[in-house]
Amino acid sequence: MSFTGKILKVNLTNKEIKIEEKPESFYRDYQGGHGIGLYFLLKESKQGFDALEPHNPLIFAPGLLTGLRAAAVPRYVVISKSPLTGALGKSEAGGYWGPELKKSGFDALVITGASETPVYLSIRDEKVEIKGAKHLWGLETGLVQEKLREELGDKGTQVAQIGPAGENGVLYANVVNNLSHFNGRNGLGAVMGAKNLKAIAVRGSGKLKAKNEDRLKEIFRWTAAQVKEHPLSSMLHKHGTPAGIKTVNAQGGLPTNNFELGVFEGAEELASEEHSLKPKGCYACPVVCKRVVAINDGDIIVDKKYGGPEYETLAALGSNCGISDLKTVIKVNEICNRNTLDTITLGMTISFAMKCFEEGIIGPEDTDGMELRFGNKDVLIPLVEKIVKREGIGELLALGSKKAAEKFGPESKKYLVESKGQEAPMHDPRVKTGLGLQYALSVNGADHWFAQHDPFFAAEDGFGVIEMAGLGLTEAVDPLDMGMAKVRLIYYTSVLNSVYDLLGVCIFGYVARSLIPLNLLLDQVVAATGWKTSWFELMKAGERAIAMGREFNRRQGFEREADKLSESFYRPLAKGPFAGKITFEEEDLNDAVEKYYALAGWNNSGGVSRNKLEELNLDWLIQ
């Protein structure tokens, strides 16, 4: 089976360690990933609480297929209440940690309470210990991983951890495993820091056995043989996500100068592969797309063990801050990885401060004398160091752009680019409107993988239309459309992406972004579990998880009016092919949100209707 039937529960306040057993029916409803994560978050939390208080549960949950020798399913989710947004905190990562937790015998880890002193968790099969971590506190991630592997006497130990940014409560600190795989968004590293939990070291000697190992192997072999033939997966393998810089710039949607311009003169330089080494992969993934870089030229030294900047980082810290100096961006990425900072929110918070500086809303007296101007690469490294330590201007910028705007004053708010308090990722809704819906509707704030992206569905022969026809998406939809065809596309594919997260699927291995088609994913679920299942049952599980997320947010006070975009997106871009064009207005977005609500069975409280909850077997959520 692809699941173990056991959930590990650790209370850091009273040091209690328990194992809860779950029947097979639980896995059919909640599967894995955010399904199981949300189940325990809702069961273990109350209404309206602070994300940094001990009560906030912190859940680590691998996908249903994670841990099997199946293609591109290495992922696990971390779920909690986000200290950045006050809404649901949810972020997935690949790498090796999720599969190791499954091999140690657990389908999820539920952490509650907080320790009085720094600790780490050691999980070696079913031997679970809470150990002192005073000797690790304050250390960067590379050193912590090295020390823990030495201390535990096993180089194969997988370490998920926080760096100094998480310890210091930077509200967008993240969690890293294997030094370069991140649960990047929503500030979940700050929750771990507030619990005084430095790391979770896992080693499992078990082996998950699928019901039909032969079929899994067959699909794995097919995938490995096709990677270099398929146009999208071979592109990812050869160039990784940074290849997106040139493509998105050519389309006129590369976030530049705090999302004011859609094109960047330094795009070629940012996309250069000059410092790239052979890419790395995640557990059991034949695509192997993770970028690795190294620099050793005297003034800048970058260690390859921290991976390299992906598309999102290059755009957030590069073009969006007007900076084209690749070496500086690579170095800042490494500093973020050593300290566990979300590079998207970091880049967006800096670009917001730069815009406020350029407009005269703040001045050198507010920035410790730094000239925060677009293109000033010299401020990046000192600024990030101040943010990690929460010193000077870094104290305020450690809270993210929305909270910084409260201090900068009302004039600054029109330059925010966020949704539900989380800064937008590097995709502009003004050139692909589905992203506007994704940012507005996502329960965890602006998120670019709430659903599939518009360009895959722009033409009849596009990958999206060909691969998603079985879901009923048989026609091309204009990337600028904001009518019913776009709402249907976002609704169906948001449920699909929810299924991906339940199963531990990496979006860069599967359609529409890559090569593995939907029928082979279903075959893998059947081979793993032996269930007589179908895409209908999987999509219902996807809807169930989305509904639980809505209900969590409703309990935390997020209603219908929270599903919106910041006003920046209603102003036209100032440069590039979309310069001066208004592609949609606030009214158009509101209409589309209304339509989505009707399809999803949501109501004006922002939550889910009683009928829908009953249909999804979520009666236990009805007040």
Kindly report the CA angle at 356 between 352 and 359, in degrees rounded to 5?
A: 140
From candidates 32, 83, 94, 252, binder to ligand SF4 by CB under 6 A: 94
Q: CB nearer to ligand SF4: give 248 or 506.
A: 506
Which of 208, 282, 316, 600 is close enough to bind ligand SF4 by CB under 6 A?
A: 282
**Choices 15-23, 224-232, 285-293, 308-316 (CB under 6 A): range interacting with ligand SF4:** 285-293
DSSP per-residue codes, 150-191: HHTT-TT-EEEE--HHHHTT-TTB-EEETTTEEE-STTHHHH
Contacts of residue 69, defined as CB under 8 A and 6 or more positions apart, other chains included, come to 216, 217, 220, 284
Residue pair 190/171 in contact (Cβ under 8 Å)? The answer is yes
Give residue for tokens 């880049």: 347
Q: What would the two tokens of residue 282 be?
A: 């995640």
176 binds ligand SF4 (CB under 6 A): no
The verdict on 290 binding ligand SF4 (CB under 6 A) reads: yes
Which member of 285, 344, 538, 541 binds ligand SF4 (CB under 6 A)? 285
Question: Whole-angstrom Cα distance, residue 454 to residue 481?
Answer: 9
CA distance 445 to 242: 24
Name the segment binding ligand SF4 (CB under 6 A); options: 186-194, 277-285, 316-324, 327-335.
277-285
CA distances from 235 to 230, 280, 326, 436, 515 (A): 8, 14, 21, 27, 11
Cα separation of 549 and 81, whole Å?
11
Among 208, 289, 399, 538, binds ligand SF4 (CB under 6 A): 289
Q: What is the DSSP letter of 375?
A: T
According to DSSP, the residues that pair with 301 across neighbouring strands are 296
Q: Which is nearer to ligand SF4, 78 or 506 (CB)?
A: 506
Provide, rounded to whole angstroms, the least separation between the CB of residue 74 and ligand SF4.
5
Whichever of 121 and 506 has its CB closer to ligand SF4, that residue is 506
DSSP string covering 44-68, please? H--SS--TTSTTS-EEEEE-SSTTS
With binding defined as CB under 6 A, does residue 5 bind ligand SF4?
A: no
**Selected range binding ligand SF4 among 246-254, 280-288, 495-503, 584-592, rule: CB under 6 A:** 280-288
Could you tell me the smallest distance in angstroms from the CB atom of residue 599 to ligand SF4?
29
Interface with ligand SF4, residue 509, by CB under 6 A: yes
Per CB under 6 A, 488 contacts ligand SF4: no
CB 478 within 8 A of CB 462: no
Nearest distance from residue 444's CB to ligand SF4, in Å?
Answer: 20
CB 210 within 8 A of CB 2: yes
Residue 6: strand pairing partners: 21
Exactly one of 288, 459, 522, 539 binds ligand SF4 (CB under 6 A); that residue is: 288
Would you count residue 506 as binding ligand SF4 (CB under 6 A)?
yes
- Selected binder of ligand SF4 within 142, 281, 530, 601 (CB under 6 A): 281
72 part of the interface to ligand SF4, by CB under 6 A: yes
Nearer to ligand SF4 by Cβ, of 240 and 606: the residue is 240
Select from 118-126, 132-140, 502-510, 519-527 the region that touches ligand SF4 (CB under 6 A). Answer: 502-510
Q: Which is nearer to ligand SF4, 243 or 288 (CB)?
A: 288
* Beta partners for residue 422, in sequence order: 419
Binding mask of the shown chain, residues 298 to 337, with x at each position contacting ligand SF4 by CB under 6 A: ----------------------------------------
Among 154-162, 397-405, 501-509, 568-576, the segment contacting ligand SF4 (CB under 6 A): 501-509
Instruction: Name, in order, each residue with C-beta under 8 angstroms of 353's C-beta and a sequence gap of 6 or more.
Output: 362, 367, 372, 393, 397, 401, 404
Q: CB under 6 A: which stretch of 193-201, 220-228, 504-512, 570-578 binds ligand SF4?
A: 504-512
Q: Which is nearer to ligand SF4, 17 or 224 (CB)?
A: 224
Strands 76-81 and 158-161: unpaired
- Nearest approach in angstroms of CB 214 to ligand SF4 is 23
Residue 181 Cβ vs ligand SF4, minimum distance, rounded to whole Å: 8
Residue 124, phi then psi, degrees to nearest 5? -125, 100
- C-alpha to C-alpha distance for 173 and 190, rounded to whole angstroms: 5
Question: Could you tell me the smallest distance in angstroms from the CB atom of residue 506 to ligand SF4?
Answer: 3
Residue 437 C-beta: closest distance to ligand SF4, Å:
25
Q: How far is the CB of 240 from ligand SF4 (least distance, A)?
A: 8
Q: Could you tell me which of 99, 111, 129, 95 has the C-alpha nearest to residue 206?
A: 99
Kindly list the residues in this chain that would bind ligand SF4 in the complex (CB under 6 A). Answer: 72, 74, 94, 281-282, 285, 287-290, 506, 508-509
